[in-house]
Amino acid sequence: MHDEEVTYRIRHVTSYAYSDLVTLAHNEARLSPRNGPFQVAHHARLVVDPMPAFVAREHDYFGNAVSLFVLQEPHRRFTVTAHSEVSLRAPFLPDPDDTPPWEDVRDRLANSTEQEVFEAIEHVYESPYVRWNGAIVEYAAQSFTRGRPLLAAAIDLSSRIHADFEYRPGVTSVATPVATVFEQRSGVCQDFAHFMIACMRSHGLAARYVSGYLLTHPVAGQPRRIGADASHAWAAVYCPEYDFIDLDPTNNVLVTIEHPTLAWGRDFGDVSPLKGVVLGGGAHRVEVSVEVMPVDDET
């Protein structure tokens, strides 16, 4: 399993339609997959329409690739198409029961001066989209019982979120507080990731938000639907000796070779695929289409 490798070609299209004319737009995109211990990004290309007057590329604080561009041509429609190719190897995943007790990890994060541990500490605290209350602490405590191995506890938490929460698009927005998601027990992958992160951080653990994609499988006997895949989000918990281990509470799985990674940070605000400011525009409508295609499946 550890030697298995898959290469994907990814096409991510984001289109904005405006009711009024946009005369100026400044944008930043995090649509280029990053390299990691089990992922190699071969190439990435953005096609922007209308053509930008200015383009720059850099890496943000978390090491994510960022494309900055300015549109000066007046427009009512704006489209960004990201093409990328990435290879994933199945990560090494420890036996959950062989990971250290979660309290030991918490204490090490609180007291260690080791560089690796120190870099994880920034993911222990509240962030703009990840805040918690007493009810969330109590919910998390059902998984993080005394002496329980860290990964075993995190897997249990992911499983409980999957069972207790309903996937319901349209009932939340980016601005919906984690406490509200918990009260209504519904939302989408972004909400479930934020909630899981809040649970783990509330117990002194380091957890980060990961954006990426999820390969979907066609119904038996039917061809793969173009554009049927989706952008996705999940959580990762820091475990000494293993770095961050990714878990997907929306699907109740440990992340392996079907989750290409785009970016990571404290929460969605750090890794938004596309954001910016515009002059004019009025009301707008946004459409997103994603295709994740294993190279061997292409015809």
Distance CA 176, CA 168 (A): 14
The distance in angstroms from the start CA to the end CA of the chain is: 26
pLDDT at 221: 61
Evaluate if residue 132 carries a pLDDT over 50.
Answer: yes
% of the chain surpassing 70 pLDDT:
94
Residues 259 and 284 in one domain: no
Residues 40 and 157 in one domain: no
Number of compact structural domains in the chain: 2
pLDDT band at 16 (very low <50, low <70, confident <90, very high): very high
pTM of the full predicted structure? 0.93
Report the CATH number at residue 28: 2.60.40.2250
Mean pLDDT value of segment 166-172: 93
Q: Give the residue numbers spanning the domain of 76.
A: 5-89+272-297
Residues 122 and 189 in one domain: yes
Distance CA 225, CA 232 (A): 17
Evaluate if residue 209 carries a pLDDT over 70.
Answer: yes
% of the chain surpassing 90 pLDDT:
85
Q: What is the largest CA-CA distance in the chain?
A: 61
Evaluate if residue 298 carries a pLDDT over 60.
Answer: no
Distance CA 223, CA 168 (A): 26
Residues 284 and 156 in one domain: no
pLDDT band at 226 (very low <50, low <70, confident <90, very high): very low
Contact yes or no for 122/164 (Cβ under 8 A): no
pLDDT at 114: 82
Report the CATH number at residue 198: 3.10.620.30
**DSSP 8-state assignment for residue 229:** B
Residues 77 and 58 in one domain: yes
Residues 196 and 253 in one domain: yes
Phi, psi of 243 (to 5 degrees): 65, -145
CB atoms within 10 A of CB 9: 16
Evaluate if residue 192 carries a pLDDT over 70.
Answer: yes
Residues 228 and 277 in one domain: no
Residue with tokens 């509240």: 126
pLDDT at 162: 96
| Averaged confidence pLDDT in the chain | 92
Residues 43 and 101 in one domain: no
